[in-house]
């Protein structure tokens, strides 16, 4: 069906777009699968619906999709006890039509909280516990047939000074309304509720800023390992760790410490996947677009290679294109100089860039 829509539109599209969308070259999903890996991307259902070229691209390239927004609390439970699953169902329907798998994101996070949630959590531990349990069990009952891997907790590790969004003075866990309401056992609690609600679901802890060769990223890696070891010692169910992979080119990267960290996670019996790859360019840009794109591809390529050396087999980007990306739209993430960062495999006109070529090469090797 996608192909028909595309062909119908082809006459009205700029040349670059038609070439990409109609290309008969194998998509990344096919290349990755042939080598026992998988490739996926984050999507927004309304963007897929609005743009047949984008949806054809996602269908061709991705084996796995993850809702960028539709699985978060403020969408799913905008008011206490009122669950809204239609946006998530739209993503699941798209995936089913394209024979794609869906990852769920995220059952517990300190952002994208509906307005009622933090005050309700603060009312007391037993209420907070009940709210968590109701949300996880209701969501998993809804998605059981279509989603077999969920980020149960997202970004729960404290961020040491010097790095991204630091949380100074805290222990291994980030200070959040969840920690305040439920105490440090809340991660274990969420994982146990999820296991009980859906015993064969893959339970994932998803975390950011744990890749670079910096003292603060090393401290964060150590914290994550301590938290994970503690959970496993208490026989807490846990299957996988998601490394977000929001790369920042101003940060030094060296494979060794990162690969050692991935191997330590794998040695605990956990799968590790890259869940949200994209690239923020450095403050000082190369003078040409070609130079910038080559640098992005090179930086991401080193990360991809190290991730595979550490045992990663599933790779997802946080969107396929520079257009409407959070790297452009999100205050605090967007560049201060207003330049659109070129951190995705496709540019804002949906033309493939060297990062797409690097991914194809990576999945072919
Ligand atoms: C981002 C989305 O891309 C934005 O559109 C939204 O405004 C905020 O959240 N880590 C995560 C993702 O786990 O959920 C975030 O997604 C990006 C950082």
Return the pLDDT at 22: 56
**Closest residue by Cα to residue 17 from 356, 346, 333:** 346
Mean pLDDT score of the chain, rounded to an integer?
93
For residue 68, report the distance from its CA to the centre of ligand 1, in Å. Answer: 7
pLDDT at residue 9 tops 80: no
- How do residues 50-101 score in pLDDT, each as one tens digit? 999 999 999 999 999 999 999 999 999 999 999 999 999 999 999 999 999 9
**Is 88:64 a contact under the CB 8 Å cutoff?**
no
Lowest mean pLDDT, pick from 138-147, 168-177, 180-189: 168-177
**Closest residue by Cα to residue 365 from 3, 21, 36:** 36
For residue 348, report the distance from its CA to the centre of ligand 1, in Å. Answer: 19
Give the residue extent of every domain in the chain: 3-364
Residue owning the nearest CA to atom 3 of ligand 1: 326
* Domain 3-364 class, CATH top level: alpha beta
- How do residues 182-224 score in pLDDT, each as one tens digit? 999 999 999 999 999 999 999 999 999 999 999 999 999 999 9
Mutational pocket test of ligand 1: of 276, 320, 331, the residue with most ligand atoms within 8 Å of the beta carbon: 276
Please compute the mean of the pLDDT values over residues 18-41 and round it to a whole number: 86
Closest ligand 1 atom number to CA of residue 275: 13
Residue owning the nearest CA to atom 13 of ligand 1: 154
CA–CA gap between residue 180 and residue 323 (Å, rounded): 37
The pair phi, psi for residue 254, each rounded to 5°, is: -135, 130
Mutational pocket test of ligand 1: of 41, 69, 76, the residue with most ligand atoms within 8 Å of the beta carbon: 69
- Per-residue confidence at 163, pLDDT binned at 50, 70, 90? confident
Stated pTM of the model: 0.94
Lowest mean pLDDT, pick from 145-154, 157-166, 231-240: 157-166
Closest ligand 1 atom number to CA of residue 151: 13
Please list every protein residue whose CB sits less than 6 Å from any atom of ligand 1: 68-69, 154, 208, 244, 276, 326, 330
Cα dist. 302→252, 263, 297, 306, 355 in Å?
11, 17, 9, 6, 12
Closest ligand 1 atom number to CA of residue 246: 18
- How do residues 298-337 score in pLDDT, each as one tens digit? 999 999 999 999 999 999 999 999 999 999 999 999 999 9
Closest ligand 1 atom number to CA of residue 72: 14
Alpha helices for the chain (secondary structure H): 2-9, 15-22, 28-34, 45-50, 52-61, 73-76, 86-97, 117-121, 125-143, 177-182, 186-197, 215-233, 255-267, 289-309, 326-329, 354-364
Mutational pocket test of ligand 1: of 103, 112, 318, the residue with most ligand atoms within 8 Å of the beta carbon: 318
Structure tokens at 207: 């975390």
For residue 228, report the distance from its CA to the centre of ligand 1, in Å. Answer: 23
pLDDT at residue 161 tops 90: no
For residue 12, report the distance from its CA to the centre of ligand 1, in Å. Answer: 33
pLDDT at residue 282 tops 80: yes
Residue owning the nearest CA to atom 5 of ligand 1: 326
């Amino acid at each position: 069906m996608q192909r028909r829509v595309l062909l119908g539109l082809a006459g009205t599209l700029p040349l670059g777009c038609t070439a990409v969308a109609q290309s008969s070259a194998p998509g990344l999903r096919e290349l990755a699968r042939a080598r026992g890996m998988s490739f996926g991307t984050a999507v927004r259902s309304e963007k897929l619906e609005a743009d047949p070229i984008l949806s054809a691209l996602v269908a061709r390239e991705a084996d796995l999709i993850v809702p960028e927004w539709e699985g978060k609390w403020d969408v799913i439970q905008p008011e206490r006890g009122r669950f809204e699953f239609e946006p998530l169902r739209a993503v699941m329907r798209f995936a089913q039509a394209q024979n794609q798998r869906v990852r769920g994101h995220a059952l517990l996070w300190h952002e994208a909280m509906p307005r009622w949630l933090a005050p309700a959590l603060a009312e007391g531990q037993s209420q907070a516990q009940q709210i968590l349990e109701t949300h996880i069990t209701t969501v998993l009952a809804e998605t059981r047939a279509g989603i077999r891997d969920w980020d149960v907790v997202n970004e729960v590790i404290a961020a040491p000074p010097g790095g991204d969004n630091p949380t100074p003075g805290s222990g291994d866990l980030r200070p959040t309304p969840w920690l305040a309401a439920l105490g440090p056992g809340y991660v274990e609690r969420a994982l146990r509720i999820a296991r009980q609600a859906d015993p064969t679901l893959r339970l994932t802890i998803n975390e950011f800023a744990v890749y670079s060769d910096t003292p603060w990223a090393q401290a964060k890696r150590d914290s994550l390992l301590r938290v994970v070891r503690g959970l496993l010692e208490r026989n807490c169910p846990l299957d996988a760790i998601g490394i977000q992979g929001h790369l920042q080119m101003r940060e030094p990267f060296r494979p060794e410490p990162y690969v050692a960290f991935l191997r330590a996670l794998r040695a605990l019996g956990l799968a590790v996947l890259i869940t949200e790859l994209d690239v923020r360019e450095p403050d000082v840009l190369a003078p040409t677009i070609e130079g910038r794109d080559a640098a992005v591809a090179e930086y991401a390529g080193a990360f991809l290679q190290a991730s595979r050396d550490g045992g990663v087999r599933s790779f997802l980007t946080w969107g396929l294109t520079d257009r409407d990306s959070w790297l452009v739209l999100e205050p605090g993430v967007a560049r201060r100089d207003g330049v659109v960062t070129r951190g995705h495999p496709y540019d804002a006109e949906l033309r493939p860039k060297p990062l797409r070529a690097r991914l194809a090469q990576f999945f072919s090797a």
